[in-house]
A and B are shown apart, each in its own frame.
Chain A
């Protein structure tokens, strides 16, 4: 099933990526080629096969609920593009 440029544009928005018209055209072609290639997965009979999401049979790894030191605020903010010294600053979300 071929992906249209409109579909690829919609996926780009979901992925929070802004694509130029040229990137969109190239991406559409490449994604179609890759998706066509992965279609061969459907040759495999997976009736009654459970999905394997993770190679280890581990779940719910608990640890003691104990206080530990965490990053000091100034260190946590040090790599941020914009802060007021207390918080991470972002553009307005509401008008």
Chain B
């Protein structure tokens, strides 16, 4: 089997071939490393490729398999990890100058679980600095390009992870989602991305952005691989007191079972104004698929969802301003070379270490929490947050899942939204409310524009109903072929050089 015919397959297909002895884990990782070598100069999904570590792990898996030893559920499967998760002994930067040389002394729980599952960790992916952004252009180090069109953004903040899967650099990847940072890049890159319920996955070792919103979740080509990876990373962790002690269902075992009498709510407000017509059409077509499958489809209203972005841009920056106070040039990270005194050391270190968007959010959060403005902004935003949550509670009394678009537009051009922060913030208009409410959500491919850009369908479920979410998503996926399409990188590269 040639390397090029291996990449682009799903993790479950790889696991099957590995179990049957049709290929070795070493051959598999080699195929991906060659693909990365050939194309990542164009896509720039990775901040770090750990070729040696990956080959070593793959060889270990092969040896243990040969000896007949038990292997983990991801044995030999390459996984890319967003550079927001600590990896012991391996640079973890959050795409920030302030952590440029940070080498964590421990693994994040999710990383530890991946290692215990015998996954092959192939590298760390690019992101918006500290996960703040919707295009991955806020990285201090490089600009990641959308594999479907290299002149466009992959979305963000987990754009490197989404692009890594879409570019067939790894069949699985890990991201984090604070306001849409898994689902929106998944939509823009034509892959599946899932934001678990708040508390479903341990955040120990996740560099904190907004602690009441952050969740870690999987990227994959399809819903079945997503179920496989979620099962590996989910569960209670004594090291994260916000992770919840609930058993983790075997998501993969049940994912093929359709949900009888599924009630689907279509969000009226998300298909009226402000949504790209091609996105709206693709989502309506998806609704029709559910109708054809016998689901009970109705319109629902989330009347306060339009206040999601304003509430989010108080709550998230407020929490960020507090979380990022730790970057003080003392315990780890960058310190300015020249300063006058202690306060000046802090101010220069942070001015030189943080990028423009991170500064903007720290400033906004500090302002919203400062004396005289706390009630007007922060407290008001928390009250609106409850009202948004109650919208969902009411909706889920009527329906089992909620569907709508993931992003109002397909992938936008690089640079297009950089000068106007607000226009970038609005990229997450349909995703932030799930974070504010703490519920589960998934984005999966539901079509392509005339220009060949992927479109994402968002499905939302009540807290801890990931099983329902995955089964509902799989019902749709089984009826369609979108998830089988792969970006043609050779063509994408040729298109850019021709235009240039």
Residues on A close to B: CB < 8 A? 3, 8, 11-19, 23, 27, 30-31, 33-35, 37-44, 46, 49-56, 58, 61, 63, 71, 75-76, 78-82, 88, 90-93
Inter-subunit contact B382/A51 (CB<8 Å):
yes
- Contact B387–A19 (Cβ < 8 Å): no
Q: Are B385 and A40 in contact (CB under 8 A)?
A: no
CB within 8 A of A79: which of B102, B244, B346, B383? B102
Q: Mark B160-190, 1 if CB is under 8 A from A, else 0.
A: 0000000000000000000000000000000
Interface 9-mer from B107-115, B219-227, B323-331, B452-460 = B323-331
| Closest CB in chain B relative to A42 CB, distance in Å | 7
Contact A55 B342 (CB under 8 A): no
Partner-contacting stretch, out of B11-19, B306-314, B484-492: B306-314
Contact with A along B356-399 (1 / 0, CB 8 A): 00011011101100100000010111111111010000000000
Instruction: Give the interface size bracket for B toward A.
Output: 35 or more
- Specify the chain B residue showing the minimal Cβ separation from A36: B422
Find chain A residues with CB under 8 A from B325 CB: 16
- With a cutoff of 8 Å between Cβ atoms, the chain B residues found around residue A42 in the complex are 380
Nearest Cβ on chain A to B319's Cβ, whole angstroms: 10
- B103-A19 in contact (CB<8A): no
Nearest chain A CB to B40's CB is how many angstroms away? 27
Stretch at the interface among B64-72, B143-151, B276-284, B333-341: B333-341
A39-B310, A46-B384, A78-B103 known; 16 new pairs, CB 8 Å cut-off, are A8-B363, A12-B363, A15-B350, A15-B366, A17-B354, A17-B363, A34-B313, A37-B422, A38-B310, A40-B310, A51-B382, A51-B386, A55-B436, A79-B102, A80-B331, A81-B329
| Chain B residues closer than 8 Å to A71, beta-carbon distance | 105-106
Interchain CB contact under 8 A, B330 and A53: no
Query: Is the contact region of chain A dominated by helix, strand, or loop, or is it mixed?
Result: loop
Q: How far is the CA of A17 from the CA of B309 in the complex (A)?
A: 25
Residues of B within 8 A of A58 (CB): 199, 241-242, 244
Query: Could you list some 12 contacts between A and B, CB below 8 A?
Result: A16-B325, A23-B359, A31-B367, A35-B364, A43-B307, A52-B385, A58-B244, A63-B238, A71-B106, A78-B105, A79-B103, A90-B342
Q: Which residues of A contact B367 (CB under 8 A)?
A: 3, 11, 31, 35
B355 to chain A, nearest CB (A): 12
> Chain B: residues with CB nearer than 8 A to chain A?
101-103, 105-106, 198-199, 212, 238, 241-242, 244, 304, 307, 309-311, 313-314, 321, 325, 328-335, 339, 341-348, 350-351, 354, 359-360, 362-364, 366-367, 370, 377, 379-387, 389, 421-422, 425, 436-438, 463
Whether A14 contacts B345 by the Cβ 8 Å rule is no
* Complexed CA–CA distance, A68 and B37 (Å): 43
- List, in ascending order, chain B residues with CB within 8 A of A14's CB: 366, 370
A-B pairs, 7 with minimum CB distance: A55-B438, A51-B382, A79-B332, A81-B335, A46-B383, A52-B386, A61-B241
Interface of B is mostly: helix
A14 and chain B: residue at smallest CB distance: B366
Are A38 and B377 in contact (CB-based, < 8 A)?
yes
Contacts of A80 in B (CB 8 A): 330-332
Cβ B422 vs Cβ A33 within 8 A: yes
- Chain A residues positioned under 8 Å from B101 (CB to CB): 79
How far, in angstroms, from A8 to B445 measured CA to CA in the complex? Answer: 43
Q: Tell me the smallest distance from the CB of B384 to a CB of chain A, in Å.
A: 5
Distance, CA A59 to CA B241, complexed state (A): 9
Q: Which B residues touch A35, using CB under 8 A? A: 364, 367
**Please, how many angstroms separate the alpha-carbon atoms of A37 and B312 in the complex?**
12
CB distance from A12 to the nearest CB of B (A): 7
Q: Are B341 and A91 in contact (CB under 8 A)?
A: yes
Are the C-beta atoms of B379 and A51 separated by less than 8 Å?
A: yes
Kindly list chain B residues whose C-beta atoms are within 8 Å of the C-beta of A61.
241-242
Shortest distance from the beta carbon of B285 to any chain A beta carbon, whole Å = 32
Known: A11-B367, A16-B350, A27-B359. A55 touches B238 (CB 8 A): no
- When distances are taken between beta carbons in the complex, the residues of chain A under 8 Å from B370 are 11, 14
The answer to whether A15 and B332 touch across the interface, beta carbons within 8 angstroms, is: no
- Closest B residue to A28 using CB positions: B363
Given the interface contacts A46-B387, A90-B345, does A55 sit within 8 Å of B421 by beta carbon? Answer: no
User: Within the complex, which residue of A17, A39, A91 is in contact with B339, where a contact is CB–CB below 8 Å?
Assistant: A91
Give B365's nearest chain A residue, CB to CB.
A15
What chain A residues lie within 8 Å of B363 (beta carbons)? 8, 11-12, 15, 17, 27, 31
Question: Which of B311, B363, B382, B385 has the most A CB atoms < 10 Å from its CB?
Answer: B363
CA A61 to CA B241, docked complex, whole Å: 6
Chain B residues whose C-beta falls within 8 Å of the C-beta of A54 in the assembled complex: 212
The complex places the Cα of A76 from the Cα of B346 at a distance, in Å, of 20
The distance in angstroms between the C-alpha atoms of A33 and B424, with both chains bound, is 13
